[in-house]
Structure formats: C-alpha cells, structure tokens
Structure 1
Amino acid sequence: MLAIQNLSYYIGGRPLYEDASLHIKPKDKIGLIGLNGTGKSTLLKLINGDYTPDKGEIGKSNECTIGFLNQDLLSYQSEDSIVSVAMQAFGEAVETQRNLEKTLKKLETEYSDELVEKLTKLQEKFERLEGYTMQAKAEEILEGIGFNTEDLHRPLKEFSGGWRMRVMLAKLLLEKPSLLMLDEPTNHLDLPSIEWVENYLRGYEGAVIVVSHDRQFLNNTINKTVEVFNQQLTVYEGNYDFYLQEKELRSEIQQNAFENQQQKIKQTERFIEKFRAKATKARQVQSRVKALDRMDKIEEVVDTNAVVNFKFDFKQKSGRHVIQLEHVSKSYDKLNILTDTTAHIERGDKIALIGANGKGKSTLLRIIAGTEPIEGERQEGHNVNMGFYAQHQLEDLNVNNEILEELKQAGSKKTELELRQVLGCFLFTGDDVFKKIKVLSGGEKSRVALAKTLISEANFLLLDEPTNHLDFQSENILVQALQQYQGTFITVSHNRHFVSQVANKIWYIEDHQIKEYPGTYDEYSLWRSKIDAERKESSTSEQSKPEKQEKPKPAQKTGNSNEKLLINHQRELSKIEEQIDALEKEVALAEKEMADPAVFGNPDKLQEANTRYEKLKAQLQALNEQWELKAEEIDELENSSN
C-alpha cells in the first residue's frame, strides 16, 4: 500500500534518517516509537507530503488515501458547529444536501417537472451516499470521544485547543482513509474516550500509524511496532510489550556478538603487533590487516533504560493528616462539580485521581492546593510543604535561562554538583545543563519543570498530567522517582500504565462526590469491570421483564427432587474440576514451550506460542468462573435442604 525506500532526511546537516526503509500493508496497525527528537512526527509529515525527502522515495498506491491528525490542528477554528465540522468528512454528501435544500426552496415558488426530476435524482444520490445517516454517525463518534449531546451544535471556536483536536479526530475517523496517521492522539483525551478510540481502532478496516507514549493504548491497538533508532526504522512484529521482550533478546544477541568481535579484534591486533617486524610472517600479518579493514563492525548496545537513584530531601515530615476536606461543595453558575462531599489525604498516600474530563479533577486539585474558593472546610495538616506541577508551569520557565540556572533559581539551596546530579537523573548530562530553555522540546521542558518540582523539598506533591509530552524513557524516570518518594502525592493522569506503577489509592468523582478505591489501579480496574457488568446485567434483566405480568409462584420441590438436583450439580462440578486439571497441565506445557530457546529466539514461533498460551489462559479463566458459579449453586441447594 505504501513503501518507504532508502529514505534520508537532514535537519541542519544532522541526519534524522539515513537510508531507512519501511513497507506498510493495508491492515497494519503500527506503533511508531522512539525517544523525543528522533523524528517520529517528521516521518509522518514526510509520508503526508508536508516535507520532501533529501534522498530515497515514498511511494503509495493510487487508491491509498491518507488522514493525518497532528498537533498543528490545535489552532484550527471555525464558526460552524462541531457536528458540522465533523460532517465535512462527508464532502460529496454535504454538497448534495446543500443542492437538495436549494432545489426544495426553489420548488416553493416555481414548480416544474424539471425541478421535480432534479429533486428525485438528488434524493437518490443523497441516499446512495448515506447522507441520511451521516449526522447520526458524526454525533455517535463525537459523543464517543467525550462531547455531551447539548454541546454538538455549539460553534467550534468556543472550545479549547484540546477539544478542537477531538473534533478533528472525529472528522478523520468519519473520513475512513486507507492510512490513518495519529500523532499523540491520547494527549487530549480522557480515560473513557481513550478506551472508546481503542475499540474503534481495533475494528478499523484500514492501516493505522500511531505515535504515542501511552504504552497501554499501544498494547490495545497495534499489531506491529516500528522503532526510530540510529536514523533507521526497525520493525518488531507485535505490540509494545512484545517489542520490549524482543528488543531485550535482540540486544543480548547483539551485545554477545559485539563482545566476541571485540575479542577477535584484540587477538588479531596482538598478532599483527607481535609479528609485524618478522619477514616470515609478513603475508599472515598483511592478511589479518586486510581482514580487519573489511570487517563489518558490530555496534555496542546502548542502554536507553535510565535507572534513577534520586534522593528526596525533606526538612520535616508532614503530620499524619495532610489534607482534610469536610462537606465541600463547588459549582460554576449552573455547573455543579461537588456537593457536600468529604475526603481525607493521609501521610504516605499515593493517590491517582482519574475519570472523564468535565467531572472536576483539575478543580479538585486546586481545591486541595487551597487556590480554589469553596463552600465547606479545607484543613491543611501540620508541617505540610506543598509542591504543585501542572502544564502551565512550562510557560513559567524563563526561556532565556540555562537549565542549570533555572534550577538554581528554584530556591532549593542545593549545590551546583547536587543540581547536576538531579539533572543527570532527568537525562541532562554534560554540557546539556547549559542549554537555553528556549531551545528545548516540549518533553525536555516538562523534565525541567518536573525536576524543579522534585527539588522543592515538598513533602506533598500535586501533579496534573505529569506524563504529557514525556517519552517512554522520561516517563520511566518519573515512575522510578515517585516510587522512591517517601512523601505524599496526588496525581491527575489518564496514563493507565503510569497510574498502575505509582498509585496505592484511586480517587474518582461520581454523582458530585469524591469516591475512593483503596488499592492499585489494576485492582480498581477489575473491580470496576465487575461492577459495570453487574449493572448491565441488572439493567438487561429489568428491561426483559414482560410488562404487567404477575410473578409466577415458585414450584414446590420435594426433598427427593432437591437431592437429585444436588447430585447432578456435584457431578457437573467434578467434570469441570477434571477439565481445569487438564487445562492447567496444558498451560504449564505452553509456558515451558515459550521458555525454550529455540522458540524464544524465533519471533514467528514465539508469537505463535504466545497466542496459544493466551488462548489456554482465557479458557482456564472461563472454566474457573464456571466452577465458582456451580459451587455457589451447590452451596445454595445445600443450605435450602438444611
């Protein structure tokens, strides 16, 4: 469908790509990954035709259409309603609708057979173009990515950049190009919207290229990972988790090959040095010199997984009670955020505040910080020293300062050596610390702002979307830093992997109340799925009940029939247990197979073995659930018999 052949592209003489190649097939779901600054967004713009390669070519088939969601669309504005902007995807149908309306208007004053015939043809064309359903489709997608029904007819210009970006995403999804390119689509989406887009992309009929630093989003949507590294495009035939495993395996093989080659080079060099002066060995010496010159050098593996050992200094610990909110209410005009709600933050809490946009998460963060007026009471605990990180702090950085100078002015009283050690943890090493803030990328500015927050000696941190604009390596640094943090923090984030790594409590706003789940995000997610399934089942059950029908009286069972039913259930339970035992053995064999070097070293075999293993695990889980249900039925029968 699209082929990139020997692509080279330079910026200021520096190569972003050097003879890079990639083939994109019609059903590919590709995650494009790499460190910030390696050229991921640039590659999308090259494919889109916005930039021209310095060498090589990008060829696509005649029927290939491209849709590109990029950060430049944040500035797009229009007087049209958001549903009208989204419906621009149906260009021909919209134009036909305009002609229909004009023809109908004309018929009101000058009726003729010609106009009637024209109207009939336009109606047939409009129906063929699915024009009668285009507004419903547009509304469905807009509501799926977070818009309220009452907002659909508001002008686009009334919305912030992030919400305008959602409208442009909706328009692209409605266009259904054969190649859909999305540059950081989750940056402007809340959790429910991210999950909706995941489901949509999984069933998308065309090819997709996604640049994203949300690893769970990638795991849930892609079937191929392409890494931008060393000016090349390296393909991994699986999602992000598969990439991590395969990358580690390839790196191990490459490092072993590098070490073996280095040993051979040293042996050859020793031979050359030892026998260079001997005439009898001249031919062998020259042969080895030529062999060294011809040798394809294997590169040493560069470890991109930075390990952080960051020591947080507190002048003093906070008291046990950090923040107490009692009977808090908050509203903006007619918009109600919180109603008579109570919540407490204790020392050592690591809280993730999650949920849909518009529920009041950022407002709650400001209430906790004490910068938002409220009804009710906010009590700050003893010795609480607060640090607040939010995206607007990137704008507060002095663009004319060097990075090191910016941290010196943060007032932490740390020495230059200590500040350099902190910056080293955030990937600013050597002369990097003397870079001006104004030349930094968005991700680099985020790292500087985070470093400033973390050296503030605060024992209570408030972090608003701290992973936005961070690449995987920078996110990993933040995760490690927060895992080592001995204080208290609350973070607003839609990054599920980040939340699962750092939080020990989950907060969410529901029915204008602050609600808490006392556990990790993975535990919360399982609990929430179960609750939602029970609600759905209850709702379906209620809807399926026939109206105005008396509840039938339960049949009277004799003790004998009850006993027979119990025996049948016990037999069924025994059969399920036998199936579980057999399946557990199969799962164990599948695990052993994946650990086999012959399988683990072959990507195709490994993927096949992993697919079989996941299928067996799913079957085992289903059987375990059947066992639990059957055991509950037996327990109820036994209780009713007593």
Structure 2
Amino acid sequence: MITVDNIAVEFSGTTLFKDVNFVINENDKIALMGKNGAGKSTMMKIIAGRQSANRGKVSCPKDTVIAYLPQHLLTEDNCTVFEEAAKAFSHIFEMRDEMDALNKALETRTDYESDEYMSIIEKVADLGEKYYALEDVNYDSEVEKALKGLGFKQEDFTRQTSTFSGGWRMRIELAKILLQKPDLILLDEPTNHIDIESVLWLEDFLVNKANAVMVISHDRAFIDSITNRTIEVTMGRIFDYKANYTHYLQLREERRAHQIKAYQEQQKFIADNMAFIERFKGTYSKTNQVSSRERMLEKLEIIEIDEIDNSALKLTFPPAQRSGDYPVIVEELSKKYGDKTIFNAASFSISRGEKVSFVGRNGEGKSTMIKSILGEIDYEGSCTIGHNVQIGYFAQNQASLLDPDLTIFQTVDMVAKGDMRTQVKNILGRFMFKGDEIDKKVSVLSGGEKTRLAMVKLLLEPVNLLILDEPTNHLDLKSKDVLKDALKAFDGTLILVSHDRDFLQGLSQKVFEFKDQRVIEHFETIDAFLERNRIKSIKEMDLKL
C-alpha cells in the first residue's frame, strides 16, 4: 500500500494542487485524468520519486518497488538491447562493485585501529548483509528470458537500441520493469509511438501480470480496457472514482449537477441572509441576530463548481477538388534496405473518397509505403499517383520538425499565401492559439500545442489526398474527437496510420495489413479486423515467464 499524504505543489505563485490525499492499493489499476496543465505528470513524478513536493510526502512499506515509464523513453543509443535491459539490476551490480572496492581498500590499509578503517568495516558489513540476503539469481538468464518473452530474438540482444522503432524501445523499457517485479508501475502516455499490436500486448500485460498500475493516457480504448479506478486532478484537488474512464465521465457529470444545485441553494441562502442584514442592521432589537449572521457568512465556505475546459479545436478541412478515380495505384512494389526486404510485390489501389488504415507492427513497412507514395525513396515496381491529386502529409514526427526559434505566428505566416496571410490570427484562434499566445516561441510549446500548430500548416492549402501518420500523438481526448469528426466530413481520400483504436473506430472503411513482407488488403472496418485478430495477436505476443 502506497500513501500520498497532504501533497502540495506550488511554483511562481501558482498552486498546482494542495492537500492531496489518496492510497494506492495492491492490484489497483488507476487512470490519472485531468485537463492539460492540471498537474498529472507532476503528481506521477512525485510518486516515482523523480520530483519533490513543496509539502506532504509519499510513504510506502520498506522495499516497495515503484517502476516509472516516462512519456519520453529513457533508452540510450550507445547501449545494446541486453545492456539496456540489464539496467534493471544496476542497483545490485553497484552494491557488488562497491563491496569489491571497499574490500580492496581494506587489503592495502594498515591503520587497523583508526576510525576510518572501522568505518569501512561497518560499510562492508552493512552492504554484505543486504547483498547476500538477495535471492541467488542468474541475472543474465533472467534478462534473456524477459527479452525473449517480449518478442526479441537472440540476435537482437547485441543490436544497438538506436536501431529499433519506438514500439520495440517501449518493450525494452517494459523488460526492465518486468525484471524489477515492481509493486507499482507508473506509465505516462505509454501508447504514443507504438503500434496497435504492441498496445494489445501492453493491455494484456497490465491487466493479467502487473500488480498496481497508474497510467496517464489520451487513448480512451486503452484506459477503459485496463483501469478500474479513476483519479481526476482538477482545480488543485483530486476526486477519486471506483470506475473506469467511461463510467467516470458519467459520474463526473452527476457530481457537477449536484455541485450546481448546491451552489445555487447556497447563493440563495447567502442572498436571503444579506437581505436580512441589510434590512435590520440599524435596528437595536436585531443587533445580535445581525452580528450572528455576519459572522456566519464570513466563515461560510463557498461551494466551488468543477471547472470545465471550454477551449476546443475548431477544425474543418477545405473542400477537396475532384481527383481521378484512383488517387493511388501500387503494382508489384518492392522495397529493400540492403539485404532486408521490407515488402515484396505489393499491389493495391485506393479509390477516390476511400478512407483506409495502414496497420501492422512497427518496422513492417507502413511508413516506408507512405514514403514510396510520396516519392521520397527509390523502390522497385510501380506507384502511380492519379490525375489532379493534391497530397497533404502529416508525418509522425511533424511536430518535432517545427523551427523552435520561431513564434507561433511566424511559423504560420511564413507558409501562408495570398489572402490567407490576412487570416492567420483567425486560423490560429480556431486552433486554440489566442491573444498573446501567438507570440510564444515554438520551443516552449507542449507536445499537444506543437501537434495543433503542425496541423495549421497542413490546412493552409486545399488537398484531396490526406496522408496522416500518427496524427493523434499528444492530442487530448477532446481535440482527437474534433479531428475525427473533421476527417469523417472530409470529402477527399484518406490514408491513416494510427495505433488509437477509439480514433479509428467508424473512420476507416478498409484495412491494409503490413505483415511478413506483404501488404494484405482487408475489406472490413478496423473494428472487425481487430476483433478477428485480437486473440491471435495477444497469444503471439504473450509472455512465457
């Protein structure tokens, strides 16, 4: 059991939250929710011990293990997969190395009666007691077993982590967590940059194999699948619900309705008493009553109504000019990098107005196919772009390509043309950049703000073929819903790569699966495809530990 006791965080005269109390029990699966800036990541870092609170403390039983997976992965590019996973035992290795160093120091010293010599003896004894109390484990064998359970092959162990995609790096971090056998796993946006199959595996792992879990995520389907409790951070306080995200939304609406009713009743009570005070404050016989009511009103705690984030993305894609019947025709398309075949003899066509999904594990060729369609790489075979096709492309790393030294306004003004330049401020306002905010440097923007800004650039010219590679990373739930509605209304052709099942639901009419060097066309929605493959996918990726 982990206790968060009277935690408060303040900075620059602003209170992020105060007097926060809750308990994390064994096997709790908690969604930590709240609007951007409410303090969710800060709360998680405090529980993880990565940040200190101004007041309060986090307490837990001795030897409790808390594992933290931040929003940005920690894998280093100068390590092999095996070396990175073995860092799960780094504290044990450090203890062993320190003991060896102290013993060597004792061998060379002759000041047997000195305080320093006795101090070293005591350190060796303390470390030895802790070290030899540990279970006798073959750590190399444990690392190998964990990595193989997560889908890595023996030949992958010596590869640099830099050669792996985001989904596989996530698995390296999860291997480290698994090897620690933590009592609590903290996850900050764990589904960003990983493929659907990896998300399915992660869900299964967290539900069936993990102890307590706390997660921050904008992936509605993911958090609904794994959580049984929701803690909302709002207005410096928390509200704790024994419910998953969808049920929590219903309960929150009910709570707010009760708050509004109670607030209205309190305001009427205050108004009635103020009227009494105003009427009788000069009347001698009512002096005591007036004073009593004045004191009562001074001590009265005003009921607060939960804030609602009314800021909303306003997104409409410009009408698309009519393209040819088949915006994309791929025939016998093959791509290799050295001896590695990405896909071989792929053939398919996409009709005007179709909305299709590219799915498959990271590294199976989805982004490579997009680069082929865009003409950014060489390939064998044929990829034909249809008549009058105008392509709009949102890359997976689009937000990171923005110039950090430019302001929001400058970023858009540089690419706006003609009459559009006079509308820059209005356009930015629709994307929740208002007033003085447009003078902010890109370097200080959050991930969600950068994603919205990158989308502004995409909309400056009408297109009839949209290619979106993970467009929802860093977008909050409300913005994702707005984007989804805009894509539904888009009258052009859409190619979509996304791991977010809730976002894809009802949006994709056809699925192209990238697997085993092939591109397989499925004439079904993403929901039908995932339902048919879910059990098989999870079994393939299941841990054998």
Q: What TM bracket, shorter-length normalisation?
A: 0.7 to 0.9
Q: Tell me the C-alpha RMSD between the 2 structures.
A: 3.4
User: In the alignment, does 2:219 pair up with 1:214?
Assistant: yes
The normalised TM-score by structure 2 is 0.82
Q: 1:256 to 1:324 in 2, by over 3 A?
A: farther
Q: For the structure 1 residues 510 and 166, does the alpha-carbon distance in structure 2 shift closer, same or farther, using more than 3 Å as the test?
A: closer
Residue 70 of structure 1: aligned partner: 70
Counterpart position of 1:225: 230
Q: Conserved in 2, the CA contact under 8 Å of 1:355 and 1:509?
A: yes
Give the aligned partner of residue 543 of structure 2: none
Counterparts of residues 110-259 of structure 1 (less than 5 Å): 128-129=136-137, 134-143=142-151, 147-156=152-161, 158-159=163-164, 163-259=168-264
Deviations 1:580-625 (A, max 9, x none): xxxxxxxxxxxxxxxxxxxxxxxxxxxxxxxxxxxxxxxxxxxxxx
Report the equivalent of 1:372.
377
* Number of aligned residue pairs: 506
Q: Which residue of 2 aligns with 1:475?
A: 480
| 2:23 aligned partner | 23
For residues 140 and 440 of structure 2, what CA distance do their matches in structure 1 show? 57
2:39 maps to 1:39: yes
Distance, in Å, in 2 between the alignment partners of 1:455 and 1:390 is: 16
Matched, 1:48 2:56: no
**Residue of structure 1 in register with 2:465 after alignment:** 460
Q: Does 2:331 correspond to 1:326?
A: yes
User: Structure 1 residues 322 and 73 mapped into 2: Cα distance closer, same or farther (>3 Å)?
Assistant: closer
Aligned to 1:484: 489
Cα pair 1:305 1:473 within 8 Å, conserved = no
Check conservation: 2:407, 2:438, Cα contact below 8 A: yes
CA distance in 1, matches of 2:267, 2:373: 58
Deviation at 1:463, TM superposition (A): 1.0
**Residues 38-96 of structure 1: per-residue CA shift (max 9 Å, x gap):** 222222222232222111222222131222222464352444x4234324435699899
CA distance in 2, matches of 1:92, 1:230: 39
* Pair 252,316 (structure 1): closer, same or farther in 2 beyond 3 Å: same
Residues 93 and 130 of structure 1 are in contact (CA less than 8 Å); yes or no, is this contact kept in structure 2?
no
Q: Supply the distance in 2 between the matched residues of 1:379 and 1:334 (Cα, whole angstroms).
A: 26
CA distance in 2 between partners of 1:533 and 1:464 (Å)? 24
- The one-letter amino acid paired with 2:372 is I
Q: Return 4-13 or 301-310, whichever deviates more.
A: 301-310
Shift of 1:430: 3.5
Distance in 2, matches of 1:28 and 1:468, equals 26
CA deviations over 1:247-298 (Å, ceiling 9, x no partner): 2222222233334434554555566667777778776665555444333222
Partner of 2:525: 520
Q: 1:297 and 2:296 equivalent?
A: no
Would the alpha carbon gap of residues 162 and 191 (structure 1) be closer, same or farther in structure 2, given more than 3 Å must change? closer
Q: 1:350 aligns with which of 347, 355, 372?
A: 355
Change (3 A) 1:75 1:243: same
- Whether the 8 Å CA contact 1:216–1:497 is kept in 2: the answer is yes
Match of 1:187, SS?
Answer: coil
1:140–1:381 Cα change, 3 Å: same
Q: Is the 8 A contact 2:235 2:307 kept in 1?
A: no
Equivalent residues of 1:39, 1:228 under 8 A apart: yes
Alignment CA distance shift 1:435-1:135 (3 Å): closer
Residues 272, 289 of structure 1: 8 Å contact kept: yes
Q: SS state of the match for residue 235, structure 1?
A: strand
Deviation at 1:359, TM superposition (A): 0.6
Distance across 1 between alignment mates of 2:444 and 2:51: 22
Residues 45 and 132 of structure 1: is their aligned pair in 2 closer, same or farther, counting only changes over 3 Å? closer
Larger Rg: 1
Matched residue, 2:2: 2
Instruction: Name the residue aligned to 1:400.
Output: 405
Measured at CA, do residues 418 and 227 of structure 1 come closer, stay the same or move farther in structure 2, by a change above 3 Å?
A: farther
The offset of 1:209, in angstroms, is 1.6
Distance 1:295 1:317 in 2: 65
Which amino acid in the other structure matches residue 432 of structure 1?
A: E
The answer to whether structure 1 residue 434 and structure 2 residue 448 are counterparts is no
Structure 2: runs of 5+ lacking an equivalent:
98-131, 541-545
Indicate if the aligned counterparts of 1:306 and 1:477 stay in contact, CA closer than 8 A: no
> SS where residue 327 of structure 2 aligns?
strand
d(CA) in 1 for partners of 2:430 and 2:242? 32
Which amino acid in structure 1 is aligned with residue 315 of structure 2? F
Which amino acid is the alignment partner of residue 349 of structure 2?
Answer: H
* Matched residue type, 2:150: L
**Range moving further from structure 2, 423-432 or 217-226:** 423-432
Which residue identity lines up with residue 169 of structure 1 in the other structure? L
Question: In 1, are the aligned partners of 2:218 and 2:477 still within 8 Å (CA)?
Answer: yes
Identity rate, percent: 37
Distance 1:533 1:262, change over 3 A: closer
The structure with higher relative contact order (CA 8 Å, sep 6+) is: 2
Change in CA separation of 1:405 and 1:501 when aligned onto 2, cut-off 3 Å:
farther
Q: Point out the structure with the larger helix share.
A: 1
Name the stretch that deviates more: 405-414 or 201-210: 405-414
Deviation, 1:450, is 1.6
Change (3 A) 1:302 1:49: closer
2:527 aligns to what SS in structure 1? helix
In structure 1, runs of 5+ residues without a counterpart are 99-123, 536-642
Deviates more, 1:480-489 or 1:289-298: 289-298
1:569 corresponds to which residue?
none
Tell me if the contact between 2:75 and 2:161 (Cα under 8 Å) persists in the aligned partners.
no
For each residue in 1:97-125, what CA deviation from the matched residue of structure 2 results, as whole angstroms up to 9, or x when unmatched?
99xxxxxxxxxxxxxxxxxxxxxxxxx99
